[in-house]
Structure 1
Amino acid sequence: MFTEQINKSIECLRYNGYFITAGLTTQELNAAEECYNITFPADYKAFLSVGMPLYRHDFTDWRNLSAEYVEYIKFKMYDCTIDGVLYAVRKLDGWPESWGKRPDEMEGRLALARKKIKENPLFIPIKSNRYLSLSPAESGNPVYSIHEGDDVVCYGENLWDYFIKSNDADGDGDGYGHADAIYNLTTMLEPFPKYNTFVYHSINNFFYQNQRYYDECGNYLPGGEAVAQ
C-alpha cells in the first residue's frame, strides 16, 4: 500500500539533499505511538516504515525517545498548535462530543479543552513547523504550516502532495528542485487553500467532522463544503 507514493516522495527528498535513514521497525513505530499517545495515519506510518528523512533538526526523529527530545516534540504538538482550537471553543462555541459534558463557565471549558488536547494531540510535527493532521481520516489528511498557534497555511492536500510540492522549486510539479528555495506556498496556484487562521480546520474537521462549515474568518457557511473551499 502507498508504494508508488512512498518511492516518489523518497526520490524527490533525496534529490533535494535530505538524508533518508532506515525505516522504523514495527517495534519502533509502536514505541513512538505509545510515547506520544498518538496513532500514526496509515500513509505516514507506511512511509516511516520504508525510510525516515533527517536533515539537521528539521524532520522529527521518531526514534529519539530521550526525555529531552520527547519533551520538545510534545511542546510542538501541544503548545505550538492549541491557540486556534481554543479560539473555536471561546468564540465559536465549539465542543466535540468525545470531550463529554461541556462546563458552564468559559474558564472551565478552556481548562478542559487544554487537558483533552494534551492527552490526545490533533497534529504531529513532521518537519520544522509543518504538521500532519491526525483527523478526519485514517490517511490522506492535510499538512499545515503552523506558526505561533493560529497562523496557518495548508501546504499539502495530503502527505504525498506536501512532499512533492514543497520540494518543487521550479514549479513544474515533478518534485525536483532545491527545497530551501521555496517555503511560502501561498503564491502557488490552487489546489493549495489559502487559510490564514486555524479556524477552518479546528471547526470543520475536528469539532463538527464535516457536518457544519465555517470559512477562514469563522463565519458560518450554511451551504456546506462547496462554499467553504
Structure 2
Amino acid sequence: MHKKQTLLIPEDYTEFLYWVKERTETFWSKSKSSSNTEAYPCPQWVEGAKWIGMTDEQIDATEAKYDIKFMPEHRAFLRILHTIDRKKVSEYEEERETQTYQTSFFYNWLKDEDEIVSRLNWPYRTVFEDVSPPQGVWLKSWGTRPSSVEEKERIFADWYAKAPKLLPLTSHRFLVSRDDLADRPVLSVYGSDTIVYGWDLRLYLLNEITDHLDLYVPVFDEEDQCYYAEYRDELTEVFDLAKQKLPGKDIPYWKELMLYWSSGWSSFGLKHPGDNGETVQPIMPTYVPDDQEPAQKRFRGFE
C-alpha cells in the first residue's frame, strides 16, 4: 500500500515562520556553483543572507511612529523574520549598458522610512489615479459618478477611510490590517487592479518566496530538452486545500474593487463574467457604469 507522504510544511503559524527562517537561510548558504537545485539555484546577491527580526519594543515604537497597528500574525512575522541583512540587487538594460538597482527583500521598518511612507500612501494614490479620469474606474456602491475630480475624491476618500487598512510588506504587496476580520489576506495592489496574493501570511510567503524556500523541483521536458520548475507535492497540497476554502470569503470594501476587474475574481474562487476557459485573458472591467464603454485595463508606470 502506498504510504501518504508526511506534509513537511508546518500548519502552526509560529512554527511555520521558524521553518521559513531555517529553510531559506539553508538555501541561501549554498553557492550557485555548489547548489543541487537545477531549477532555482541560490542567486549570488542573497548568498549567506540572514533574517533580522525586531524586538517587541521596536515593533511598538514603529506602530507609534507611523500611527498604525500590526495584527498579531504581522507582529510574529516582524519578530521572527522582518527583513534580511541586505538589499535585493536587480538589473536592467539602458542604452546597451547593464544598470543595477537595489530594493528591499521585505521592508526594513527600522531603516526604510522613505519607502515605507511612500508605500503607506500607495493604495490611496494609485487607486485614485484610476478613479479620477472622466471614464475611470467607478464602483457601483458609489452611486452616480460626479463630474468634478474634487467630488470624486471626496466619495473615494470616504470609502477608503472605511476600508480595512493596508500595511506594506514588500513592493506593492500589503497585509490587510483590521482586528475584526476572519481573514487578513495579503493583497497585491497595482492601482485598481488588486488581487489576493495569499489569504493569510503563511499562504502568501509560500507563494511569494517559493524559490527561496526551495519548493520547486526540476522536471525535464523531453520535447524541449530543458528543465522547468514544478511545485513540490507538499506545496501543491497546501494550495489545493486553500482553493477549496475560497467560496464565501470576503474583504469588506476591497472585494468590490477587486471584482471590478476580471483579474480579481479568481481571488475568491469565482469565474468572472465572460470567462471562456482560456489560460491568458485580457484584464477587462466586469462592472461598467452607464456613461462609459468597456475597455481593457491599461497599465501605467506608478512611481
Same fold (TM over 0.5): yes
Q: Distance in 1 between matches of 2:204 and 2:165?
A: 18
Q: TM-score, normalization: structure 1?
A: 0.60
Aligned-residue Cα RMSD (Å) equals: 4.4
What is the Cα deviation at residue 167 of structure 1? 2.6
SS of match in other structure, 1:91? coil
| Unaligned segments of structure 1, at least 5 residues | 96-102, 176-187, 193-200
Q: Distance in 2 between matches of 1:31 and 1:141?
A: 23
Structure with greater proportional strand content: 2
Which residue matches 1:165? 207
Which residue matches 2:120? 77
2:189 to 121, 124, 146: 146
1:128 to 135, 149, 171: 171
Largest Rg, 1 or 2: 2
Q: Distance in 2 between matches of 1:36 and 1:83?
A: 20
Deviation per CA, 1:49-79, whole angstroms, max 9, x where unpaired?
Answer: 2232224022111122xxxx42321211213
Which residue matches 2:109? 62
What is the Cα deviation at residue 15 of structure 1? 3.8
Evaluate the alpha carbon distance shift between residue 11 and residue 115 of structure 1 in structure 2; reply closer, same or farther with a 3 A threshold: farther
Q: Distance in 1 between matches of 2:122 and 2:18?
A: 33
What is the Cα deviation at residue 126 of structure 1? 1.0
| Matched positions, count | 188
Structure with greater proportional helix content: 1
Deviation per CA, 1:89-140, whole angstroms, max 9, x where unpaired?
Answer: 9622546xxxxxxx9x76235147448858x982122122222122475675
SS of match in other structure, 1:38? coil
Q: TM-score, normalization: structure 2?
A: 0.48
Say which structure, 1 or 2, has more relative contact order (CA 8 Å, 6+ apart). 1
Alignment of 1:1-229 (within 5 A): 2-17=13-28, 18-21=49-52, 23-54=53-84, 55-56=86-87, 57-64=104-111, 69-84=112-127, 87=131, 91-94=138-141, 107-108=150-151, 110-111=153-154, 113-114=156-157, 122-135=165-178, 137=180, 140-147=183-190, 149-169=191-211, 170=216, 171-172=231-232, 191=242, 205-207=251-253, 215-217=259-261
Which residue matches 1:185? none
What is the Cα deviation at residue 153 of structure 1? 3.6
Amino acid at match of 2:81: G
Alpha-carbon contact 1:143-1:156 (below 8 Å) kept:
yes
Deviation per CA, 1:141-192, whole angstroms, max 9, x where unpaired?
Answer: 2122233x233343212101111232324111657xxxxxxxxxxxx97957
Q: Distance in 2 between matches of 1:214 and 1:72?
A: 25
Q: Distance in 1 between matches of 2:252 and 2:154?
A: 18
Alpha-carbon contact 1:78-1:117 (below 8 Å) kept:
no
